[in-house]
Homo-oligomer: A and B are copies of this chain.
Amino acid sequence: MQNFRFYVPTDIRFGTDRLSELPEALSSIGKRVLLVYGGGSIKKSGLYDKVQQQLVKGGFEVVELSGIEPNPKIHSVRSGVKLIRKHQLEVILAIGGGSVIDTAKVIAAGVFYEGDPWDLVVDSSKIKQALPIVDILTLAATGTEMNRNAVISNADTKEKLGTGGAELLPHVSFLDPTTTFSVSKWQTAAGAADILSHLFEQYFNRTKAVQVQDNIAEALMKVVIDFAPVAFENPDDYGARANLLWASTLALNGLVGNGRSGGWTCHPIEHELSAFYDITHGIGLAILTPRWMAYCITHDPSTHEKFAKYGEAVWGLTGDSQAEIARKAVRTTYEFFEDQLEIPMTLQKVGIETTELVDEMSQQAVVHGELNTDGPFVRLDEEAVKSIITSCFEEMTLN
């Protein structure tokens, strides 16, 4: 286990019927609010009206920035920064999933930066200060509600990049499982794949003696595996939604990642798919992940031990050798996405019809993700990434 600092002072308010706490949570920070949200879903669900009632009751001055898209774009960040400066706002209230909260984070930092906020995405060291953020989460997926990270896309440059800083950690996050009841099957599946991918990215790692972190990763994987199919079938199952929501937060708040170093793999590759094709992030991850796993166990037998551990601890698999259990684990992961969550498991099925951009995406992934280094669990050069992405155009076979 390596040295680490764990300092995550986000105030989590978990559960139902807590919006009456919103005025108190905001007013200790400021009375002039930028309200950031996405499309009409929070209006349809009634959440928008409930929040407005509290804001009116609390006497807040509110300016709205709506229309935040999935794979949120830098132009939304620029708009938010302008609104805050124009109206001298003091706090950001973000209502939505990861896209909305990530946008709020970079807006919060952009206010204190003189240049174009895209600079803060390209180079996180330029983030020095940020407005406080309060959020109301509506999707179990990214974990942004309790961490320092944000991912923003730039349509002009075809880039989707992560940034982060201690200043971006939300002050208060409201996590109400009932706000996720209206999440579609598609987004429920994508969210589950995103949570699992966060756990995989941290768990498949070479640092020794991180059993606390690994055991917690397995614990949370089992939650997703048990409850994502329940939420998929019964969207209003409170217990399933609550467990998924809390697991999504803990999967990426430092508990699993601290005490070790190493890079991520599937996320950087998926970011290229989303940057070039704007597909749903979690779905892209579900398609990529089993192929990446298959690549690992096929090309690097030293990975069999950890994949076998995963198969045994998370899926209860057995076998005559680590290689066999590892192979079963990869196959089981693929089948979970395909059978339990009904995710379309090839790129054609999500609208990526040809391989014409595979070379360019692979090149970018290696650069942005630093994949051809000792960071990732298995080092990947451009050819390796190409073979992984290319394999996503066919049903996975793994004998």
Give chain A's interface residues, CB within 8 Å of chain B: 1-18, 177, 208-212, 215-216, 218-220, 222-223, 226-227, 238-240, 242-243, 246-247, 250, 255, 258-259
B209 and A220 form a contact (CB under 8 A): no
A215 and B209 form a contact (CB under 8 A): no
CA distance A380 to B7 in the complex (A): 39
Name the one of B5, B215, B246, B259 contacting A1, with C-beta atoms under 8 angstroms: B246
Name the one of B11, B15, B211 contacting A3, with C-beta atoms under 8 angstroms: B15
A16 and B3 form a contact (CB under 8 A): yes
Q: Which of A11, A16, A177, A215 neighbours the largest number of chain B CB atoms within 10 Å of its CB?
A: A215
Selected A-B contacts with CB under 8 Å, 16 pairs? A1-B14, A3-B15, A5-B13, A6-B12, A8-B8, A8-B9, A9-B9, A209-B238, A210-B243, A211-B222, A211-B227, A211-B243, A212-B223, A212-B246, A219-B219, A242-B259
Interface of A is mostly: mixed
A25 to chain B, nearest CB (A): 11
Name the B residues within 8 Å of A6 (CB-CB): 12, 14
CA distance A216 to B259 in the complex (A): 17
Name the one of B12, B208, B211, B220 contacting A5, with C-beta atoms under 8 angstroms: B12
CA distance A220 to B219 in the complex (A): 10
Name the B residues within 8 Å of A220 (CB-CB): 212, 215-216
B12 and A3 form a contact (CB under 8 A): no
- Give 5 closest A-B pairs by Cβ, nearest first: A3-B15, A209-B239, A9-B9, A215-B219, A6-B12
Residue of B nearest to A239 (CB): B209
Q: Which of A3, A210, A211 neighbours the largest number of chain B CB atoms within 10 Å of its CB?
A: A211
Q: Which of A2, A6, A16 neighbours the largest number of chain B CB atoms within 10 Å of its CB?
A: A6
A12 and B1 form a contact (CB under 8 A): no
B7 and A11 form a contact (CB under 8 A): yes
Name the one of B8, B10, B219, B226 contacting A218, with C-beta atoms under 8 angstroms: B219
**Known A1-B15, A212-B243; further 18 A-B contacts with Cβ < 8 A:** A3-B14, A3-B18, A4-B14, A5-B11, A5-B14, A6-B12, A8-B8, A9-B9, A208-B239, A209-B238, A209-B242, A211-B222, A211-B226, A215-B220, A215-B222, A216-B220, A219-B219, A246-B259
Name the B residues within 8 Å of A223 (CB-CB): 211-212, 215
Name the B residues within 8 Å of A8 (CB-CB): 8-9
Residue of B nearest to A212 (CB): B246
With A9-B9, A239-B1, A242-B1 as given contacts, are A247 and B212 in contact (CB-CB < 8 Å)? yes
Residue of B nearest to A215 (CB): B219
A135 to chain B, nearest CB (A): 15
With A7-B9, A219-B219 as given contacts, are A259 and B14 in contact (CB-CB < 8 Å)? yes
A243 and B14 form a contact (CB under 8 A): no
CA distance A247 to B210 in the complex (A): 11
Q: Which of A7, A13, A246, A258 neighbours the largest number of chain B CB atoms within 10 Å of its CB?
A: A246
Name the B residues within 8 Å of A4 (CB-CB): 12, 14-15
CA distance A216 to B13 in the complex (A): 20
A125 to chain B, nearest CB (A): 20
CA distance A17 to B13 in the complex (A): 35
